[in-house]
Structure 1
Amino acid sequence: MSDRSTPGRLLRAHLGLTYLFLYGPIAVLMVLSLNRAGLPTAWTGVSLHWYGELARRPEILSAALNTLVVAAASTLIATTLGTSLALGVEARARRGLLDALLFAPMIIPDIVLAIALLSFFTLLEVTLGLHSIILSHAVFNIAFVCAVVRTRLRSFDHSITEASADLGATPFTTFRRITLPVIFPGVLAGALLAFTLSFDEFIIAFFTAGAGESSTTLPMRIYAMIRFGVTPEINAMATLIMLVSFTLVLASQRLQPQGARP
């Protein structure tokens, strides 16, 4: 009995160490954000003081608002285009090259995509600002939305749309009354994932943002602050971003079909 349980104990120990390696630094960050002293070398008690300090920093509030605007606008664009792309791709025969082209933005390094987008805006003589970040994030997120919606479409019964057409419904009515309600959980999951990716994204925003505070997002603000050292406010901001991202990703996973979850 002892010999049989040894592999199981080793696997559980390996799993525990893996989770500790992944989430240990995050746990330390969260604990330090609650330290009244704000110093990693001295613990003086639990306090939400540093979270309150964030609300008294206008540059942080401005960056947070910019981040929400960028995430919301890019999510709306990416969800609309990504869903339409998924419907079009699933209606066609499967082709490996087409799938590779769709997934390319997901695997291309962010810095390569950022440079390409910056060059594109420069070529078109587009003034950089919050609008260029929104468009760039939309380009980045379309592939993710498309991939999530396609997992939902693979379990979609197309006979109900054929029945709708036979009953005289127009293609738009069929989409609005039948297709969209059925695939809506996948669309919402893709939107939540796109919002999370845009909310956290730094490299593309850094390359495609204009000068000044008007186009500074929260990750960019953290980068500017961290050059002078890790402060308690940075710990608090990072904790809030992590909690928002974790919540949205968890909600996205819950909305995906059971077979499509990793």
Structure 2
Amino acid sequence: MFLTMGRHDILLLDNDEPKTYEAALMGPDPKKWLEAMRFELKSMADSQVWNLVEPLDEVRPIGCKWVFKKKIDTDGNVHIYKARLVAKGVDYDETFSQVAILKSIRILLAITAYHDCEVWQMDVKTAFHNGNLSEDVYMTQPEDFIDPQNAGKICKLLNWNLRFDEVVKGFGFIKNVEEPCVYKKVSGNALVFLVLYVDDILLIEDDIPMLEVVKDSLRKSFSMKNLGEAAYILGIKIYRDRSKRLIGLSQSTYIDKVLKRFNMYDSKKGFLPMSPGTI
């Protein structure tokens, strides 16, 4: 068994997502980002993430910031604009740095190819809003989204980011010691892998009924969108030849963008000293 690639090996991801609220509004897609931010705030309101309260003399509210992310479809086009409102200093590293490294994802895709497993993808629609805080936390209202009738008030957080780790362990998953964003669950002869990359989830298993059970369990705790069979993950397009049990990974769309950006699209091509398409 070997892992086959497309014309291009995996490069660093194209990271043109705005880093600040101002950058989102000044960039090429302000309407898309505003829509994403409004969706996030509506989700927070529906989940009763905070109450607006009068400022307290002994309390200094923490700030908040927006985190922006683009989701790419199979053709390399942006099909989802996502905005996350995060409180600075509230489990930020733990909650928002849940990232499986690409090496782990490649290994699991190789296992997938060898055993002809299913690879399904899910997208967490909104931040994990269902966890209860153990202490009082106060936050400023988000810039340009301040309630005009409560302009002088601050947010008392009630719920903030249910830790994914606690939930999946409750479903019977075991965390990998060396790769904390890879989980496995054994049930009889079935073995399910779950891979988490921020709010992208890959489910790997050769037993479809078992995968359906896992999906239903996740939906009970999180608002998720089922993306079906994984075809594009982290800017990487996935090709499959199940008859030969091969998987190919390509970032040709991103490479084309880079070549055009640096006016090198018509530059002279070179070839690797090995059989094209294999690694």
Question: TM-score if structure 1 supplies the norm length?
Answer: 0.25
* Structure with greater strand share of residues: 2
Which is higher, the Rg of structure 1 or of structure 2? Answer: 1
* Structure with greater helix share of residues: 1
